[in-house]
Structure 1
């Protein structure tokens, strides 16, 4: 796994999966652009790396998807090029459909789908011009099948698969590739930061997330999939089986999830 001389842009880089990716890649001979909403958090990650001079901090909010052209210009100017965009930023949800205000669904689509799509579309002309580039989207196993308490999150993640599959088809001729990363449960703060039905944060960890894959192990596996230029990669424990059950035995998957405790 060698990203030598690559410029890699990572969103959601101040914590969780994004931070783990930064800490691994910072040990290689590559340059990083790291993004999230808060500059102080990004600077803390940068200063914890062995070669902070190879890291540029670029704060922005994915919900501000009308401003992405300006953000991309700043990113390209940091090191003169971008080879890989890792779309990792996003939020999750924990609430029943009947108890979820439509504003929460809107927020999930704005951040998880529209923000990611707008950023990728703004960068696309640069990739076309240089006739190379890789889009990576961290979706979820929830982009392949659904689970209770995550309706808006599942909808946004399913939508990402449709968009990036189309992008891959349209721009393979331009030397552009797409890798969809589909994690199951990874031990991060995603559950604590998940939105509830009224838009407030859940602020508690759930058992499944706590018992999920170690975030550093996941990041290592994810980077191997990116390096191999895989179309899709699934990571997790037994929850990965859901991808194949959805394809071949959808009624059984429905029955199994109903009888599982997934919050």
Structure 2
């Protein structure tokens, strides 16, 4: 017989080892499998040319989903398509390469129509496109903030509106949007990015309540912590056209493969909000949810460390709890 103390110790060990919220981990352990729930579904992925979007394409194709791959770089989309075909039994016509610029909102109706013309339906939209940010607010041009909101927020809202009209007509579908831990918690050096992700959270939380008459349409927000991807390399700096000087290494971050496996578990089981992060970042999610006063204290400590790293010319995310080492050439 387990004692109460042993039970608490077991729960603590499980939490320390956890890399997602309990609902999502439960779905991954005992819920529907992607190969069953998503097989033959038409999944439109924006930002599919790299990072989480690219890995989503690979794992979805292996699960038998039919794909629409969108991003601005058409040549990279064709590369991803070729690998998807190698990893799966899909045919060429099962994967549509559809270049898309989220900033060109006037084209979003035409792009949606192109998907419907090819597949006749859209079962899942994964809003994954976006850019991050590294820079102190006082040193950052206001144009950076405008660009982040135009891309991360308004571009996502625009494509969602067109796809949702189709899903309402059919009475079924999933709209999943990759937000961030920064959509729930302020992130120093990423004030504009955090603002755009907070906007995403507020928008989709509200949209979900507007769709109560359509119970088979699921609005899902995905909130990853640090994950290996290209988003840091493409991040805005203090000026719109100024590249980031140092993206840093990513050894401390969750693997893209693990993150996407959890996302697919959430989509397969229609989880409405997914927290995906290794410790201590997962703990930060829970602290902000249940003990905000303590969360403010810890976030301030982490934020100070992040700003210090950045001012020292180091990767802002590296080594929160150990002395950071500058990269050697």
Shared fold per TM-score greater than 0.5: yes
Greater displacement, 88-97 / 169-178 = 169-178
Report the counterpart of residue 201 of structure 2 in structure 1.
Answer: 161
CA contact (8 A) 1:192 1:203 kept: no
Report the counterpart of residue 246 of structure 2 in structure 1.
Answer: 204
Q: 2:49 aligns with which of 11, 14, 17?
A: 14
Report deviation, 1:253.
Answer: 2.2
Larger radius of gyration: 2
Report the counterpart of residue 213 of structure 1 in structure 2.
Answer: 254
The answer to whether residue 284 in structure 2 is matched with residue 233 in structure 1 is no
Report the counterpart of residue 72 of structure 2 in structure 1.
Answer: 37
* Correspondence list, 1:252-263, <5 A: 252-260=294-302, 261-262=305-306, 263=316
* Correspondence list, 1:17-96, <5 A: 17-50=52-85, 51=90, 53=92, 54-96=94-136
The answer to whether residue 166 in structure 2 is matched with residue 126 in structure 1 is yes
Report the counterpart of residue 10 of structure 2 in structure 1.
Answer: none
Which structure 1 segments of 5+ residues have no match? none
Report deviation, 1:215.
Answer: 0.3
Q: Deviations over 1:79-119 (max 9, x none)?
A: 11110000011000001111111100011001100000000
The answer to whether residue 286 in structure 2 is matched with residue 244 in structure 1 is yes
Report deviation, 1:11.
Answer: 0.4
Moved over 4 A (4+): none
C-alpha distance in 1 between matches for 2:54 and 2:128: 10
Scaled by the length of structure 1, the TM-score of the pair is 0.95
Which structure 2 segments of 5+ residues have no match? 1-32, 307-315, 317-329
Q: What's the C-alpha RMSD, in Å, of the aligned pairs?
A: 1.4
CA contact (8 A) 1:191 1:203 kept: no
Three-state SS of the structure 2 residue aligned to 1:259 is helix
* Correspondence list, 1:133-152, <5 A: 133-152=173-192
C-alpha distance in 1 between matches for 2:233 and 2:245: 4
Q: How many residues align?
A: 262
Report the counterpart of residue 228 of structure 2 in structure 1.
Answer: 187
C-alpha distance in 2 between matches for 1:210 and 1:52: 36
Scaled by the length of structure 2, the TM-score of the pair is 0.77
CA contact (8 A) 1:46 1:52 kept: no
Report deviation, 1:211.
Answer: 1.2
